[in-house]
A and B are shown apart, each in its own frame.
Chain A
Amino acid sequence: MINRAPLSLLYLNVLAIATCGLIYELLAGTLASYVLGDSVTQFSFVIGVYLSAMGVGAWLSQYILSNLARYFIEIELALALIGGVSAPVLFLAFPWIDWFRPLLFGMVFSIGVLVGLELPLLMRILKEYLDFGDLVSRVLTFDYIGALLASLLFPILFVPYLGLVRTSLLFGMLNALVAWWSTYLLRPLLSSRGLERLRWRAIVVTLLLGVGFFKADQLTTLAEENALGGKIIFTTHSPYQRIAITQKRLGFQLFLNGHLQFNSVDEYRYHEALVHPAMLGNEPPRHVLIMGGGDGLAVRECLKYSSLESLSLVDLDPAMTQLSKKFEPLNRLNHGAFSDPRVKVINEDAFIWIGKPGPQYDAVIIDFPDPGSYSVGKLYTTRFFRLLQKRLKPAALVSVQCTSPLVAPKSYWCIVRTLEATGFHVRPYHAPVPSFGIWGFALASMSEFDSTPLPFDRVQGELRFLTNDVLKGLFELPADLQPMDSEINRLDNQALVHYYDSEWNRSD
């Protein structure tokens, strides 16, 4: 018999399962809006699928005729597993699979069905001991309190302090504990056959999720989140680098090895300044080379020229170029750059690639990370630039991202002087990018060229930062960005890496 005291404990069960259910729904909605973007759509879809699945669950509950308590516990366990691993599984899977949406909605649907089964079963268990009016009012009261708790605590407590992955695993554990506890609470309604096994299964599920909770650090650490200053919505360790995407109120940010690569809010300033000066040479560019720039944002700018016939992008890391295509907000930000048939991706170390024979280009965009290590520093050496020259048509323009001339003037001028040492004519220029500060670039060509920009008539599509006057102004160096002497960066001295190290360490 269930006496009065455990009855109130059963209401606690209702509270717990209601909280868990809504948390899973919120997790799915948040995760979908992170990785697919467009939060209104994603939340609507997730809520729609979830609610209809609950309906399906409620309808299915009529077919469970006996062993109600046993079924209830089994459902709790299933929910603990699927709900608990939902966020980590979706996070790990999304950059690598083409069927992310089916996976997402499949999980939401399964969770919805299981949650939909819970309450009807519990109410039927309780109906023996309460009159119908009491039953409905009390169960629904605790259900709504649970929903309130979940919706308040999720944004205030769980997302900021635990992150999506840990929250998901934590509530999975709570679900599994409810199952374990219910084996005692509902003991009179359970046959003793297989009871011990059921308890052990509940413990194993709890432990598994617990291990996941503590191992979640390998996916994202709170320390990393603090360092990157945003919620981490995606991370991976490729053989080449650590890739992380964070989300802030206004946009998302890409980090490689902890260094900001762009912020979706103001990246257009950087990429317009990087790309268009090199594309506005005398002849409309037909064949263009981008080195680095696996985010596809420079590609987006290049695709604004109807003269473009082919674009080769050489980026070391397939994980990065894949992500730019698969991560929906980024794919949207780069206007589906990697789906354009003119774009060819080559995943290779640019230093090795540039040493091989190949065609010549009308324009080259160099968008490597900052020279913070020897393996990047080699991409700014006289050797590299000399090999690059073999791949240039005589009038080709090359634009190079050159770190901040304000924070790291020696590094900036080292790149400019190194370009000059190999025979390039170089025009230094800069652009303000709020997320980065004052950023430095260099425009180079083997032929003498005039940096007075051509009108933007050639550009098909919107420019948000550049105008003719603004472009002209970028080549005017303010008093605090004046030229200075520097060593030449060579393979056998890597002077740039040493400059960069000391200048950025000083600024930190």
Chain B
Amino acid sequence: MISRRDLFHSLLGISAASMIGCGPRVIPLQGELLGPDIGLGHRLRDRLSLVPAHADWQEIPVIIVGGGIAGLSAGWRLQQAGFHDFVLLELEDQFGGTSRSGITGSFQYPWAAHYITTPMPENMPLIQLLQEMGVVEDISADGVPVVAEHYLCREPEERIFCDGVWNEGLYPGHGASRDDLQQKSEFDASMSTWAQKRDAQGRRFFSLPIATGSDDSEAIALDNESMLSWMNRQGWTSPRLFWYVEYGCRDDYGLPLDRTSAWAGILYFAARMRTASKDSQDVITWPSGNGHIVQHLTSRLSDQLRSGQLVCQIVPPHNQDEPFGTTVVAYDKQRQQPIGFRADRVIFALPQFLAPHVIQDFSARTGRSTADFQYSSWLVANVHLRGRPQENGFPLCWDNILYGSKSLGYVVSTHQSGNDYGPSVFTWYYPFTDISSMQSREKLLKLGWADWADLVLADLSLAHPDIRSLVTRVDIMRWGHAMIQPYPGFVWGPARKAAAIPDGTIHFANTDLSGIALLEEAFYHGVRAADEVLLARAS
């Protein structure tokens, strides 16, 4: 059994442990420990073999397996092309994967991914989706989308708690030396240079989705070293700068600097800058985070969606041209019976690591290994408050960060609705960056709800000493395979490239095929896989 103090120390960092480690353990009245359906998921690993009854077989031309953003986007694309003869199977009761959201009374809040940045003109499919949602109202003459005011993150956007006071922005500038600030501006200038860089074909070096960016050797070379080593080579030494950049890596990849590829580290900053004059593309967000996009997609696809379906086995046809030759067997959680589908094409919109468990003879037939696909574990807590905590310094923002903590701080779900008083829900994020991913998953599973609630409130208490008296409920979500890790060599290595190639009639769509976990990437792969299927059906 780990002591509470040790737990704080190892999970939050030294400052947190020394400040509150010895304080009393006060746990909120209510809450739940949630997580993706682990029991059912692990039955997959045990290669559950089920044979559906004769009457439980259906012929459906296209099956999408997985109802996260990639699967939903594939369905959206098929429907957009006028093709409706498909079914999407999702294990969970709720669609959206790591973009899902929750609702309690009139409050909506994200359970993981909570924003996108305004897409660049080259990301036309995403602009189309946002137009359909009414988020993009217009497109200017130069192709730049015009986003409706109330979907752009409301000012004040972000603040950082440092030395006992909140300051505006993400960089811990309070108490920074001149040298710190000098290095920060050098870093900004460097990122701006990378953002402006174009290859011989005119493609940006860093772009989202990354498929629209360059594969120029100068860019790709960055993938061979860690962000830490690259920053060291630039001669930077400022601990504040390292913290600031590492915050970005933890935020987007769940990785520390020394395990993030320099290519991915730079991408985080440079891919979101359109012009040298502008800091970063405007953030688009909703009270429910990216759950808003999920809500739109699921309402569009309601006829095709089936939840509570554990897909256990996909069997490719002997002959690729055989009509309805690919079989998909799923376990219907509600009916507690297996059901079968015969299809022409399957879009596998689950993470890669599941492919060998679900697709028959996957490794033997394709010669691919999924061992290179490593994932970060996350913890997300939704903290329900009866009122706003006391503040010191810059007022409550959308994104609120604690300098020095190993958490990522919290996002305020009521911010975007313009609701500035009274009850709120804070969504607190914690990536397991310090430990190898297998270890951290075990650690995640061992701790109970009370341990986590205690930890979450200890972290928040650093900046809000009165928060425990305001908390009414803490719900906690454990994400075991939340984010693909862009460690050095992975994004531009052979495994990722090979994984996106269709396995006969089976097409792949997931954000991990980009080596980074972003809605933009998941959407890109969903649309791409749908286009592959449409093309195959046309020929």
Interface residues of A, Cβ cutoff 8 Å to B: 239-240, 316, 349, 351-352, 355, 373-375, 377-378, 381-383, 490-494, 497
Partner of B154, one of A240, A373, A492: A492
Does chain A have a CB within 8 A of B299?
no
B356-396 vs A, Cβ < 8 Å mask (1 yes, 0 no): 00000000000000000000000000000001000000010
B12-38 vs A, Cβ < 8 Å mask (1 yes, 0 no): 000000000000000000000000000
Complex-state Cα separation, A493 to B155, whole angstroms:
6
Q: B421 touching A316 by the CB < 8 A rule?
A: yes
Partner of B155, one of A239, A349, A382, A491: A491
Partner of A373, one of B152, B387, B395: B395
Nearest residue (CB) in B for A490 is: B149
CB distance from B117 to the nearest CB of A (A): 13
B: interface residue count bin? 10 to 19
Q: A349 touching B421 by the CB < 8 A rule?
A: yes
Does chain A have a CB within 8 A of B217?
no
Nearest residue (CB) in A for B282 is: A492
Residues of B close to A349: CB separation below 8 A: 418-421
**Assuming the A-B contacts A373-B395, A374-B395, are A492 and B152 also in contact, with contact meaning beta carbons closer than 8 angstroms in the complex?**
yes
Q: A351 touching B418 by the CB < 8 A rule?
A: yes
CB distance from B233 to the nearest CB of A (A): 37
Does chain A have a CB within 8 A of B417?
yes
Interface residues of B, Cβ cutoff 8 Å to A: 149-150, 152-156, 282, 387, 395, 417-422
Q: B421 touching A491 by the CB < 8 A rule?
A: no
Nearest residue (CB) in A for B283 is: A492
Complex-state Cα separation, A239 to B423, whole angstroms:
12
Residues of B close to A382: CB separation below 8 A: 149
- Chosen A-B contacts, 15 in total, with CB atoms closer than 8 Å, are A239-B421, A239-B422, A316-B421, A349-B418, A349-B421, A352-B417, A352-B418, A374-B420, A378-B154, A382-B149, A490-B149, A492-B153, A493-B155, A494-B154, A497-B155
Nearest residue (CB) in A for B155 is: A494
CB distance from B157 to the nearest CB of A (A): 8
B contacts with A: majority SS: loop
Complex-state Cα separation, A360 to B153, whole angstroms:
29
Complex-state Cα separation, A377 to B418, whole angstroms:
11
Nearest residue (CB) in B for A381 is: B149
Nearest residue (CB) in A for B154 is: A491
Complex-state Cα separation, A457 to B153, whole angstroms:
48
Nearest residue (CB) in A for B153 is: A492
Can you name 15 extra interface pairs (CB under 8 A) apart from A378-B154, A382-B149, A491-B155?
A239-B422, A240-B421, A349-B418, A355-B418, A373-B395, A374-B156, A377-B155, A378-B418, A383-B150, A490-B149, A491-B150, A491-B154, A493-B155, A494-B155, A494-B156
CB distance from B72 to the nearest CB of A (A): 27
CB distance from A256 to the nearest CB of B (A): 14
Which are the 6 A-B pairs with shortest beta-carbon distances? A494-B155, A492-B152, A375-B420, A351-B418, A491-B154, A383-B149
Residues of B close to A351: CB separation below 8 A: 418
CB distance from A376 to the nearest CB of B (A): 9
Q: B417 touching A491 by the CB < 8 A rule?
A: no
Q: A352 touching B419 by the CB < 8 A rule?
A: yes
CB distance from B210 to the nearest CB of A (A): 27
Complex-state Cα separation, A497 to B420, whole angstroms:
16
Partner of A492, one of B155, B417, B419, B420: B155
Tell me which of A355, A383, A492, A494 has the highest count of chain B C-beta atoms within 10 A of its own C-beta. Answer: A492
Q: B421 touching A374 by the CB < 8 A rule?
A: no
Tell me which of B150, B152, B155, B282 has the highest count of chain A C-beta atoms within 10 A of its own C-beta. Answer: B155
CB distance from B471 to the nearest CB of A (A): 17
Complex-state Cα separation, A383 to B420, whole angstroms:
16
Residues of A close to B417: CB separation below 8 A: 352
Nearest residue (CB) in B for A348 is: B421
Nearest residue (CB) in B for A377 is: B155
CB distance from B169 to the nearest CB of A (A): 14
Complex-state Cα separation, A493 to B422, whole angstroms:
24
Complex-state Cα separation, A352 to B418, whole angstroms:
7
Complex-state Cα separation, A382 to B282, whole angstroms:
17
Complex-state Cα separation, A349 to B154, whole angstroms:
16
Complex-state Cα separation, A351 to B155, whole angstroms:
15
Nearest residue (CB) in B for A383 is: B149
Nearest residue (CB) in B for A382 is: B149
Nearest residue (CB) in B for A492 is: B152
Complex-state Cα separation, A349 to B387, whole angstroms:
15
CB distance from B135 to the nearest CB of A (A): 13
Tell me which of A240, A352, A355, A497 has the highest count of chain B C-beta atoms within 10 A of its own C-beta. Answer: A352
Complex-state Cα separation, A383 to B150, whole angstroms:
7
Residues of A close to B150: CB separation below 8 A: 383, 491
Complex-state Cα separation, A161 to B422, whole angstroms:
37
Nearest residue (CB) in A for B418 is: A351
Nearest residue (CB) in A for B148 is: A383
Residues of A close to B420: CB separation below 8 A: 349, 374-375, 378
Residues of B close to A316: CB separation below 8 A: 421
Complex-state Cα separation, A97 to B154, whole angstroms:
40
Complex-state Cα separation, A239 to B417, whole angstroms:
19
Nearest residue (CB) in A for B147 is: A492
Nearest residue (CB) in A for B152 is: A492
Complex-state Cα separation, A349 to B422, whole angstroms:
11
Q: B422 touching A374 by the CB < 8 A rule?
A: no
CB distance from A383 to the nearest CB of B (A): 5
CB distance from B385 to the nearest CB of A (A): 13
Nearest residue (CB) in A for B416 is: A491
Complex-state Cα separation, A355 to B287, whole angstroms:
15
Complex-state Cα separation, A381 to B422, whole angstroms:
22
Q: B395 touching A491 by the CB < 8 A rule?
A: no
Complex-state Cα separation, A375 to B152, whole angstroms:
16
Complex-state Cα separation, A193 to B260, whole angstroms:
83
Partner of A374, one of B149, B153, B155: B155
Residues of A close to B422: CB separation below 8 A: 239
Complex-state Cα separation, A455 to B332, whole angstroms:
77
Residues of B close to A490: CB separation below 8 A: 149, 152
Complex-state Cα separation, A490 to B282, whole angstroms:
13
Residues of B close to A383: CB separation below 8 A: 149-150
Residues of A close to B419: CB separation below 8 A: 349, 352
Complex-state Cα separation, A352 to B414, whole angstroms:
11
Residues of A close to B153: CB separation below 8 A: 492
**Assuming the A-B contacts A374-B155, A374-B156, A378-B154, are A492 and B149 also in contact, with contact meaning beta carbons closer than 8 angstroms in the complex?**
yes
Complex-state Cα separation, A446 to B18, whole angstroms:
60
CB distance from B419 to the nearest CB of A (A): 6
Residues of A close to B418: CB separation below 8 A: 349, 351-352, 355, 378, 491
CB distance from B136 to the nearest CB of A (A): 14
Residues of B close to A493: CB separation below 8 A: 155
CB distance from B153 to the nearest CB of A (A): 6
Partner of B387, one of A239, A374, A494: A239
CB distance from A423 to the nearest CB of B (A): 14
Nearest residue (CB) in B for A494 is: B155
Nearest residue (CB) in A for B156 is: A374
Complex-state Cα separation, A351 to B419, whole angstroms:
8
Complex-state Cα separation, A383 to B154, whole angstroms:
11
Residues of B close to A381: CB separation below 8 A: 149
Complex-state Cα separation, A410 to B418, whole angstroms:
24
Residues of B close to A374: CB separation below 8 A: 155-156, 395, 420
CB distance from A157 to the nearest CB of B (A): 37
Partner of B152, one of A377, A378, A491: A491
Complex-state Cα separation, A386 to B155, whole angstroms:
18
Complex-state Cα separation, A378 to B149, whole angstroms:
12
CB distance from B392 to the nearest CB of A (A): 15
Complex-state Cα separation, A215 to B387, whole angstroms:
25
CB distance from B463 to the nearest CB of A (A): 18
Residues of A close to B395: CB separation below 8 A: 373-375
CB distance from A75 to the nearest CB of B (A): 43
CB distance from B222 to the nearest CB of A (A): 32
Nearest residue (CB) in A for B388 is: A239
Complex-state Cα separation, A497 to B154, whole angstroms:
13
Complex-state Cα separation, A316 to B150, whole angstroms:
21
CB distance from B85 to the nearest CB of A (A): 39
Nearest residue (CB) in B for A354 is: B418
